[in-house]
Amino acid sequence: MDAYPIPGAAGYRLFPRGLLMVFALCASMWNIPVRADDATPPEAPAPAFSPQVWLNAGFLSYHFNHTAHYNAYNWGVGADFRVSEDFTLSAGEYRNSMREHSTYASLSWQPLHLGPLRIGAMAGAVRGYPDINHGGWSPMAAPVISIEYGRLGANLIYVPTMRGKVDGCISLQIKIRVW
């Protein structure tokens, strides 16, 4: 048979096969560019970075030294101000693992971006830990991984163990973008 019949109509030919082949060939060539400069779409300018402000409610911490009975719920308030694609300023206060009031300020540098992940390090100062500088300001540095999706995000911070000074932990900080 040379055509596609309509069901129920004996011998009725809707389209001959030759006409369907010509139609398919024309449809497939519809998107072929005529000139070389038509083949490449115009490049859209890269979106410009705009600063961001994130708020958080402290940390949840998993301590490596389980016998010390540290406070794992380090509630508080903090803010991150992303000044560029790679740099973020942070400050806040929280109830630390020793159940004391702590304040921090830091700069994060996260040059590695893998989809929604940002990987890098933070450095700054923290106070409120009685065994370190008598609770006064002391320097801190730690690796940090951030994940952000829309207005929600999280920071995962690894605090290394420093014998006699700091028992290490991994802290999770949930954050929400407000600007």
Say yes or no: 71 and 120 in one domain: yes
Q: Are 156 and 144 in contact (CB under 8 A)?
A: yes
The predicted pLDDT at position 1 comes to 47
Residue linked to tokens 């942070």: 90
- In the chain, which ranges are E strands? 3-5, 13-16, 52-63, 73-82, 87-95, 101-114, 117-127, 138-149, 152-159, 169-177
Q: Is 169 exposed, middle or buried (CB count within 10 Å of its CB: 0-12, 13-18, 19+)?
A: buried
- Condensed to tens digits (0 to 9), the pLDDT of residues 123-173 reads 999 999 988 899 999 999 999 999 999 999 999 999 998 887 789 999 999
Domain tally, the chain = 2
Which of 133, 123, 135 lies closest to 98, judged by CA? 135
Q: Are 122 and 90 in contact (CB under 8 A)?
A: yes
Judge whether 44 lies within some domain.
no
- Condensed to tens digits (0 to 9), the pLDDT of residues 92-105 reads 999 999 999 999 99
Say yes or no: 80 and 164 in one domain: yes
Which of 140, 55, 53, 54 lies closest to 96, judged by CA? 140
Q: Which residue has the higher pLDDT, 7 or 53?
A: 53
**For the domain that residue 123 is a member of, what is the CATH number?**
2.40.160.20
